[in-house]
Amino acid sequence: MNFYVRQAEWVTDHTQISAIREQVFINEQHVPAELEWDGLDDTALHLLAVAEDGNAIGCARVLSDAGIGRMAVLQAWRGRGVGHALLQAAIELCRQNGWLDIYLSAQTHAISFYEQAGFKISSDEYLDAGIPHKAMKLHISN
C-alpha cells in the first residue's frame, strides 16, 4: 500500500481537499461550483488519502447526520483501493460517533462499489448536478 487515510481538518487541509474535489467534480464531472461548495464543509468531518510522497490523492466527508459524501479520488489513483480505504474510514468514523444508520447519494455508475461495502439502494434514480444518483443506506453495529 503506497497511501494512507487520515482524518483531516477543513481549517488546515481545505486547500488539498478543495483541489481534489475541484479536479474530480468540477473539472471532470462538470458539477457547477456553486453546487460543489455547499457551505457544509466547515462543520463536516473530513478524510484525506495521502500518497507516500505527501500528495493528497482522495477525500471524503461525513456530515453530523451520518451522511457520507464528496468522495473523490484523483484519476491516476482510481482502481488502487483508495476509494475503498476512504469509504471504510468514513464508516468507522460514523461508528466512533455512534451514528449507526449511514446514508449516501451514489452516482449510479458507483452503486456496485457501495453495495460491496454493504450499502443498499433506498430510492429511485434522481439527478443531482445533472448526474444520475440513487440514495443508499447502511446500518452498522457498535
Cell numbers for 20: 481534489
N-terminal to C-terminal alpha carbon distance within the chain: 28
Instruction: Give the C-alpha separation, 27 to 6, whole Å.
Output: 25
83 burial type by CB count under 10 A (0-12 exposed, 13-18 middle, 19+ buried)? buried
Q: For the chain, what is the domain count?
A: 1
23 burial type by CB count under 10 A (0-12 exposed, 13-18 middle, 19+ buried)? middle
Cell numbers for 130: 445533472
Strands (DSSP E) contained in the chain are 3-8, 45-51, 56-62, 67-73, 101-107, 120-121, 126-128, 131-139
Q: For residue 124, what is the domain's CATH number? A: 3.40.630.30
What pLDDT, in 10s, does the model give residues 53-78? 999 999 999 999 999 999 999 999 99
What pLDDT, in 10s, does the model give residues 94-117? 999 999 999 999 999 999 999 999
The percent of residues in the chain predicted with pLDDT above 90, rounded, is: 98
Stretch 113-140: mean pLDDT, rounded?
96
pTM: 0.95
Give the residue numbers spanning the domain of 60: 3-139
Q: What is the dihedral of CA 9, 15, 18, 20, to 10 degrees?
A: -100
